[in-house]
Amino acid sequence: MIRALGATLAANRVLFGIGYLIAPERVGGGWIGHQAKSPQTQVFARALGARDLVLGLGALGALRSGAGARSWFAAHAIADGTDLAATIAAREKLPASGYRFATAMAGASTGIAAAAALLLPSGSGGSP
């Protein structure tokens, strides 16, 4: 069960990463609102997209190969926990819908990633 949740989290992260890379104003707008249209903000959104793409692909690869999946999911938990804390800290400046979506998504992702980091067997190989 945790393996399937981890694989789903990693695949979702890949999709978000691609979205932030190719359409940062649209994907980021769901989180931070109209500020996502700013070229300066798009720099950070694309950097976030690269982070998410690499974390997702790394975790999927580790699940397939059986090497290091726990470490990849620990990195996911740190990234998502940071996203959650940053979103909560900025809640007064975010659109209400973006705040609700981001807190739910980052909260669930942090929990799944932390569980995968703790519960996956050391050699968590096989196909996801």
Residue 19 has pLDDT above 70, yes or no: yes
Mean pLDDT of 108-124: 91
- Nearest to residue 2, comparing CAs of 122, 89, 115, 125? 115
pLDDT of residue 122: 79
What single DSSP character describes residue 125? B
Q: How confident is the model at residue 128 (pLDDT cuts 50, 70, 90)?
A: very low
Whole-model pTM: value is 0.90
Determine the Cα–Cα distance for residues 60 and 93; give it in Å rounded to an integer.
Answer: 34
| Residue pLDDT, tens place only, 27-78 | 999 999 999 999 999 999 999 999 999 999 999 999 999 889 999 999 999 9
Name every residue whose Cβ is closer than 8 Å to that of residue 58 and which is 6 or more positions away in sequence. Answer: 72, 75
Determine the Cα–Cα distance for residues 111 and 121; give it in Å rounded to an integer.
Answer: 17
Determine the Cα–Cα distance for residues 121 and 81; give it in Å rounded to an integer.
Answer: 22
Dihedral sign for Cα atoms in the order 3, 8, 9, 10: positive
